[in-house]
Amino acid sequence: MLPQQPHAFGPELRRRRLAADLSLDQLGRRVHYSKGQLSKVERGLKLPTPQLARLCDEELGARGALAGLVPAPAPAQGITPTSHEGEVWLMHLDKDGSGSFQPVGRRRVISAGAASVLGIGVGGMNVTTGTGASTLVDASRALFGQYRRLGQVSGPGALLPQLISQTHSLQQLAARSGTRTRQALLVLASRFAEYTGWMAQESGNDDAALWWTDRAVELAEAGNDDSLAAYALARRSLISLFRGDTDRAVDLATHALDSQAPPRIKGLAAQKLAQCQAVKGDYDACMRSLDRSRNLLALERRDPHEPVIGASHLPDVVAMFTGWCLYELGRPRQAAEILGRETARLPGHALRTRSRYELRRALAHAAAGEIELACEVTRGLLPTISLVQSATITADLRRLARTLGRHPRNASVRELSPELSTTLAAAPR
């Protein structure tokens, strides 16, 4: 049975192609799809991908008209603000060092105390004010920086148990501290919880990521820091976007952008909104959001002693996201140029960050028909991708594998294929 194509993409593509006086072969060479593939799409025998629609949009000057005819994939279910009410998620550690998330009733935690549920305690330790308290806060901040650095060179499974334990420890120590120290420790615990949520997402567990993001907001508010609530909306926006629910992602990012949050949080929300608009194929709106992001981030007045919220290894975060968005908008050559320039500026130890954006560069090269260069970039990334074990990076790696799969006769693709398949087989899902 032939796939159903309930929209008018095929006929509209043919109409615009003929109006541009292009043959199937000519258009195919421009968007790097075969004549046969385009012919099947025009005749309704093959469903168009969003990427093909955006590439054709750009080549035919359709300004989003073709992309608008391709229905978005059905979003994954399960993201609701109240989906985890009444339960707490803890990391269970086995003797062999393996671990897993396990739900525990919130009432049990409240009645017994988090430390008791975890099977650990702080030995009745009280934190006094003065030098001791200041040293504890400073040391914990330094430790957070080291964990983030470690997260660049290891898989989330190795980091999650330590992050969870540290979050609980800081929360317990805060309860035994004076007011000023307690607030500082709770805010720091919120940063640990937020990073725990990111690592949970990197492990492929979106539900745990959402739960830890919510706990980060609770801890921050307990420490009189309301800014993390808006950032949580931006984080939820990104998860919704990765799950294919672009409309919800736009709503969440917009709410964060319209909040009273500090400029950095709003700047990060504007980036998320730009990503959503790029996926929707709205070039003008995307560029406006990126400009707004740059303007907001320029207003940041950050305490250098406080942990950075969001990406901390990008020299020019807006430029990097511009490259990311241009790929989604069907402008792969521009994307590859920007991503190549920005990834060259990344610090050497930022392996997770480098893998993410270099892989995006490989995707852009492949979409631009620069197959040999895409394979060369990917070949250098595969060992690091295996090391960092990122579910979000793996999603792009699968996307790249599908793109390269359209060129089975290319020698570079054939040479890369076994190693690429091995990496994908061992990657998180």
In whole angstroms, give the CA distance from residue 364 to residue 360.
Answer: 6
pLDDT of residue 340: 96
DSSP string computed for 330-378:
T-HHHHHHHHHHHHTTS-TT-HHHHHHHHHHHHHHHHHTT-HHHHHHHH
Give me the average pLDDT of each 10-residue run along the chain (429 residues): 58 91 90 87 86 87 84 54 49 48 51 43 50 76 91 91 90 85 90 92 90 90 87 90 90 92 93 94 95 93 71 88 95 96 93 95 95 96 94 93 92 95 86
Closest CA to 317 of 332, 298, 331: 298
pLDDT at position 131: 53
Please report the pLDDT score of residue 304 as a whole number. 66
C-alpha to C-alpha distance for 2 and 46, rounded to whole angstroms: 8
Beta strands 87-93 and 99-105 are antiparallel
User: Given this model, what pLDDT does residue 63 score?
Assistant: 83
Query: Is the CA virtual torsion 167, 170, 175, 181 positive or negative?
Result: negative
The residue among 298, 257, 299 whose CA lies nearest residue 277 is 257
Residue 197's nearest CA partner among 228, 172, 176 is: 228
Structural domains in the chain plus CATH codes: 9-69 (1.10.260.40), 82-225 (no CATH), 236-312 (1.25.40.10), 317-426 (1.25.40.10)
The sign of the CA dihedral 419, 399, 83, 188 is positive
CA distances from 194 to 22, 89, 188, 286 (A): 51, 14, 10, 27
DSSP 8-class letter at 300:
-
Dihedral angle of Cα 292, 297, 299, 302, to the nearest 10 degrees: 160
> Does the pTM exceed 0.85?
no
Among 126, 122, 139, 121, smallest CA distance to 188 is for: 139
pLDDT of the residue at 198: 92
Instruction: For residues 135 and 184, give the distance between their C-alpha atoms in angstroms, rounded to a whole number.
Output: 12
